[in-house]
Structure 1
């Protein structure tokens, strides 16, 4: 039996049961109140709507892009984070930037072509690799473009925002201010990968976090002659998450297509040409250094009272010193 989701026509979604207007507004407000505690966001960026709604929302443009009257009305009454100006956008999660509809901002309309979503309402998170898919990638590729959003897990809006808040509160996500001058205002580090079993254990636990073998440490690789033969086989021992990390660092936005390309080569070539053997010890040294930086960031947050007695300004200064000292970016 195919695990592909059923298709839905536009009329079905336009007649979908209404959500709670007030509940969504409250969930977004709670979400923003939580995020402005983070050191890289200006607390004064949070702005609340007037009673009659934001006059700057571009209603005609939103309707032209297929948004319903209900969605437009919701956008007119949401709180927002006013972006710092220029090209910069506040980052709400890894690869997710704020859109201040209150100031007439809009998302790039090419997104409606690349990944269309229903017109009734959606809160979407950008996903570049296939780890978020609920069924195999080849089945996903066979879906019609307008149905591909259904391949991803969904949550009610309040649950969605509460999950993100939990990731900050438990420091699964460790954002650092990015002074690079691009659109993004933060660089995001992870204690563990979102959606993993390790993350679930952290979110339900009150224990302090320590970096050990349970969170992905690699065993030390000896340089003795006996280990040289093993080095060639070590490449096969890389976990999926390690492969994703390496491809992401090497190919950026093309990481997913490269992984599919490599997988196809392995599937169809009985004896594919062997690529140069990775210096796995060097890779493990890099990952060890990365984990040490993550541990240092985590400790800075905790030493400054995160989350309940947080000294935001002191933490901000210490993170900046740590960033410069460790070449964190």
Structure 2
């Protein structure tokens, strides 16, 4: 069993600032225009959106964070290979959640892996990418790879059904994760691809 990380206490505003900084960094490359970053008004995204997000069964703390986050509104951009950012404010995604969430859950969570109410995904990992899971309770990021990346031996079928498998993948504090992403993407090994940064 993985050793728990020390508890970190950062506010929603700090989490929003960290993610906003990372998205702003991505726009310094020619493939993602600054106009693709959609930021909420000062009061947050509309309460109508929050009512829809509650249908996912997530905690109020998750809904509150979703209402404050910026989103990448560009279907052609991925963080890195097979790792597509999820735009929870996109009309199609709002409709999927509102009308057909159970049938469309695979768009928002890795198939076959139950996530608890305090965890949601910032990305869709497709087959060989990563689901970047934000745990609002622990203030951590977990990188879950369906077919690629580290596959924990402890992730049994029982753990998947019980909702524990996600927590067995590599996990770091939120700020540490995004700082590491930016450092890696800024490194000499970076190669610019058509729609993502290949490290």
Note whether the superposition's TM-score is higher than 0.5.
Answer: yes
**Which of 68, 80, 83 is equivalent to 2:71?**
80
State the SS of the aligned residue for 1:162. helix
Picking from 170, 177, 190, the partner of 1:153 is: 170
Q: Which runs of 5+ in 1 are unaligned?
A: 7-15, 178-184, 191-329
Higher helix share: 1
Which residue pairs with 2:127 in the alignment? none
The verdict on how the C-alpha distance between 1:4 and 1:70 changes in structure 2, with shifts beyond 3 A counting, is closer
2:105 counterpart of 1:109: yes
Post-superposition offset of 1:24: 0.3
* C-alpha distance in structure 1 between counterparts of 2:158 and 2:190, whole Å: 32
Does residue 132 of structure 2 align to residue 119 of structure 1?
no
- Residue number in structure 1 paired with 2:49: 58
Whether contact under 8 Å (1:56, 1:101) holds in the other structure is no
Where in structure 2 are there 5+ consecutive unaligned residues?
A: 98-103, 122-131, 133-142
Mapped contact 2:113–2:165 kept (Cα < 8 A): yes
Distance (Å, rounded) in 1 between the aligned partners of 2:176 and 2:186: 15
Higher relative contact order (CA 8 A, sep 6+): 2
Deviation at 1:95, TM superposition (A): 1.8
Do the aligned partners of residues 39 and 17 (structure 1) sit closer, same or farther apart at CA in structure 2, a change above 3 Å counting?
A: closer
Measured after TM superposition, the shift of residue 159 of structure 1 is 1.3
Contact 1:91/1:98 (8 A) holds in 2: yes
CA contact (8 A) 1:95 1:126 kept: no
**Counterpart of 2:37?**
46
What value does the CA root-mean-square deviation take over the aligned residues? 3.0
Select 2:159's aligned residue among 144, 159, 162. 144
Q: For each residue in 1:230-260, what CA deviation from the matched residue of structure 2 results, as whole angstroms up to 9, or x when unmatched?
A: xxxxxxxxxxxxxxxxxxxxxxxxxxxxxxx
User: Which has more strand, going by share of residues?
Assistant: 2
Aligned equivalents of 2:193 and 2:116: distance in 1? Answer: 33
Structure-1-length-normalised TM-score: 0.43
Deviations 1:168-223 (A, max 9, x none): 1114443411xxxxxxx44x544xxxxxxxxxxxxxxxxxxxxxxxxxxxxxxxxx
Question: Alignment partner for residue 186 of structure 2, among 155, 169, 186?
Answer: 169
| 1:152, distance to aligned residue in structure 2 (A) | 0.4
Residues 20 and 70, structure 2, Cα contact 8 Å, conserved in 1? yes
